[in-house]
Amino acid sequence: MKDLTFGTLIAVFEEIFGRGLLWVMVAAAVVITAAYAYVLIRDRAVSWRKFLLAQLSMPVGAVLGVGFVMVMTGSRPSDLGGPVDLILFLGIAVAGAVGMAVLVYTLESLLAPKRPGD
């Protein structure tokens, strides 16, 4: 593997997660992102109450993201081999945290009616 291409990355992710699960996750990410954009356009402002709860959910998303990847790869924390592995897991944690915040904010906005103070 001399070059890191988009196709190579897709092949690696399909190998790790399986073809079906990978594309289900991609579809879920697209749907949630579209719903988040819809909520922001519909409300024309950020609800700071909902945003606070979404931020409070971020540590849960970080732990779930790292745990999910460790289960899918059959890894344990003792398998971390060096700084690159740590940076990768921190990146996964950040992605999980941001994803959880977007999901929580979107679900709150879609399921709860907008209050006058929001």
- Residue 30 pLDDT more than 90? yes
Average pLDDT over residues 11-31: 93
Tell me, letter by letter, the H, E, C secondary structure of 46-107: CCHHHHHHHHHCHHHHHHHHHHHHHHHHCCCHHHCCCHHHHHHHHHHHHHHHHHHHHHHHHH
Residue 4 tokens read as: 């890191």
CA 86 from centre of chain: 18
Taking the model in full, what pTM does it have?
Answer: 0.84
Average pLDDT over residues 8-18: 90
**Gap between the Cα atoms of 118 and 101, Å rounded:** 18
Nearest to 111 by CA among 28, 30, 50, 29: 50
Residue 111 tokens read as: 């399921």
Nearest to 62 by CA among 104, 21, 25, 91: 91
70, 76 contact by CB (below 8 A): yes
Average pLDDT over residues 91-97: 96
